[in-house]
Structure 1
Amino acid sequence: MHEVIKDMAQRLAEVTGVRGVMLGGSRARGEHRPESDWDLGVYYRGPLDLAALGALAGPDVEVAGPGGWGPWVNGGAWLRVDGVAVDWILRDLDRVERVWQECREGRYEVGVQPGHPLGFWSPCYPGEVALGQVLADPTGELTALRTTASSYPEPLREALLAGAWEAEFLAAGAAKGAARGDALYVSLCLSKAFGILVQALYAADRRWCLNEKGALASAERLPSAPAGFGDRVRTLLGAQGTTPESLTATVAEARTLIEETRAGLAS
């Protein structure tokens, strides 16, 4: 299957506008299971020949052009090859390089993106390059970018650690919602608060966090995580309660965990 993927990457790189292809996701990191998807980042500049991509994908596959899947996950296609899922994910190389420069300057943003319930964190772009495997790179641009992105920028680390203040702000809002018995609002506030802490824990260890999936399981093993971090988060989110009393108790425990985590990050 790997040879099939490598051949596909070479053919993708021949499409007008495509500058290179990277293998991403769990297969690039060696964390995959037999049934895991093959994620191919298709990096392009300027106009992209969507007709050529469609011809390569096949008659039964719809190729979504830039913006077709939302503002951050630009577009792509879902294929089946020998019964295995293969995902093409478009990436605007100009934008990726711009985001990388912002990260090096300690700036990031969190955008709304379908499929990302905690938002799309812009450092994901350079993180994908840093953790991916170059499959096709005719111009050498992806290899060069991967070399620079392999070093986690200290300004970005500092910015993400500083941004952890929002977790306490969200917990304060959750306390007000709990008093009203507003279970949805409490759940949203705590989920985002814990997501922010996970991002900060990754940054503290100079690790790229690419998305929410599996992030908690990795974050709880990082050195800055307080004892029982993962289990405590799972318990709080899994049994927050429905009454003002039970919700208030959950928020109180969450605030304690948030305070412990931030204290550990500051030490």
Structure 2
Amino acid sequence: MHLPENKQQLLTQIANDLQKVEGVAAIVLGGSYAAGMASDQSDLDIGIYYHADKPYSIEDIRSTVARYAVSPATVTGFYEWGPWVNGGAWTMTTAGKVDFLYRNIQQVQETIDKALRGVWENHFEQQPPYGFSSVIYLAEVNICRPLYDPAGVLAAWKEMVSVYPPALKETIIRESLWSADFTLWQTAGFAEKQDVYNTVGCLARAMKNIMAALFAINERYPLGDKRVMAQLQGAGKLPVDLQEKVEAALCVSRATITANVERLKALHQEVVQLSDGLYKPLYQL
């Protein structure tokens, strides 16, 4: 990780201020800087963890954010963004944009515990384009750089997620590839009728499922849908020319709509072959 000096100074100052806020249990640097994928335009992403039974005051967070804002900042209450991206703030500072993300320690712990048992979920309405996967919590823990963790919460979590849970891998591969299989089965009928609305929706849905399976096959936690190809870079089990195949399947016109479905079916079969037998369709379609 390399932070420009002005951003490092800002991060240190903000972390020091947040430590003084009652109810702040841990602070981390997350996002592209923690993941090693930052560019000159990348935001600083700061995670602020709290215990559900004794959360910090939103007004205290608002006051902290205001110290660094050079234009009006947006600060939300808890869970105003939805059940997974459960609140935060964003503001412009002298060193660039900074995002603050609230994280409920109990919710993250429960999500990790479920993942170890092979339980996960994707909340489609949470955010565009494909929703929020519960596995993102594990990704955040895995890549984050703790700035303040007096109780060792993040240290313990990092140990828990350091090895990709075998049960989670099996579940995601099985469920995601079946969902893509079933979706593509229906997509062919929509394409034959030149039903663009439903065909394109199915193509995007099935592609999301295929990508989720690829992350699990390679035992990588997705950080979200941004820069998925960069997140998968260097993975050992990928279809040849993956990005080209993804783009070819999703670049749709009325003239190509049937061919798009066939391209995605072929990509699905490639990923099935990469699953080492972990995928078996639920039914014969």
Residue 101 of structure 1: how far off its partner (Å) = 0.2
* 1:52 maps to which of 57, 60, 65: 60
Residues 1-267 of structure 1 correspond to what in structure 2 (within 5 A)? 1-46=7-52, 47-58=55-66, 60-163=72-175, 164-219=177-232, 221-238=234-251, 240-242=252-254, 246-266=256-276
After superposition, give the CA deviation of every residue in 1:201-241 in whole Å (9 maximum; x if it has no partner): 11112111110111134437532222222201111212x22
More off after superposition, 9-18 vs 229-238: 9-18
| SS class of match (1:57) | helix
Q: TM-score by structure 2 length?
A: 0.87
Residue 197 of structure 1: how far off its partner (Å) = 1.4
Amino acid at match of 1:24: G
Unaligned runs of 5+ in 2: 1-6, 278-285
Q: CA RMSD in A?
A: 1.7
Unaligned runs of 5+ in 1: none
Q: Contact 1:167/1:258 (CA < 8 Å) preserved in 2?
A: yes
After superposition, give the CA deviation of every residue in 1:232-264 in whole Å (9 maximum; x if it has no partner): 1111212x2225xx3122212211221121122
Aligned residue pairs total: 264
Find the aligned partners of 1:223 and 1:30 in 2 and give their Cα distance.
19
Q: TM-score by structure 1 length?
A: 0.93
Find the aligned partners of 1:51 and 1:219 in 2 and give their Cα distance.
39
After superposition, give the CA deviation of every residue in 1:106-161 in whole Å (9 maximum; x if it has no partner): 00011134433212110111210111110111222122222222221111111111
Amino acid at match of 2:120: Y
